[in-house]
Amino acid sequence: MTPLTTTTRSATAGPLLAITGDLDYETVGQLRDILTTIALRPGQLLVVDLGGMTFCDSSGLAALIAARTHAHAAGAEIALAAVPQHTLRVLRVVGLDQVFRLQPASDAQGSPEAGHGTP
């Protein structure tokens, strides 16, 4: 098990939350706690950079959906950036690739021009 670490910084379009390590049943509470500290304004884009994520179970997917709910409640949007192949495969199987905006790693800075759907 790889411990979960998160870092948050400001980007042009809004906050960037980078996740490193395992996002699973034991660490999901940590992500949910961090989400409550991220202030979003209408029109902003919350980018969740998953490039360092090593594992994601169903609890992790539920936390990403909660992040989407948090963003939308504030009138903001959300994008997942640098989604690892194993997680991307799961997102596609359950249809979440149609729910989340997906961005390649090079767009992790949160450019508003990044497209919706698969990279």
**pLDDT tens by residue, 46-79:** 999 999 999 999 999 999 999 999 999 999 999 9
CATH superfamily of 5-107: STAS domain (3.30.750.24)
Look at residue 105 in the predicted model and tell me its pLDDT: 75
> Is the per-residue pLDDT at 91 higher than 70?
yes
Mean pLDDT, all residues of the chain: 89
| Structure token pair of residue 92 | 């596609």
Give the whole-angstrom CA distance, residue 53 versus residue 17: 12
Give the whole-angstrom CA distance, residue 38 versus residue 85: 27
Q: What percent of the chain has pLDDT over 90?
A: 82
Q: What is the pTM of this model?
A: 0.86
Mean pLDDT of 41-48: 96
Look at residue 1 in the predicted model and tell me its pLDDT: 78
Largest CA distance in the chain: 37
CB 67 within 8 A of CB 46: yes
Look at residue 116 in the predicted model and tell me its pLDDT: 39
Look at residue 106 in the predicted model and tell me its pLDDT: 54
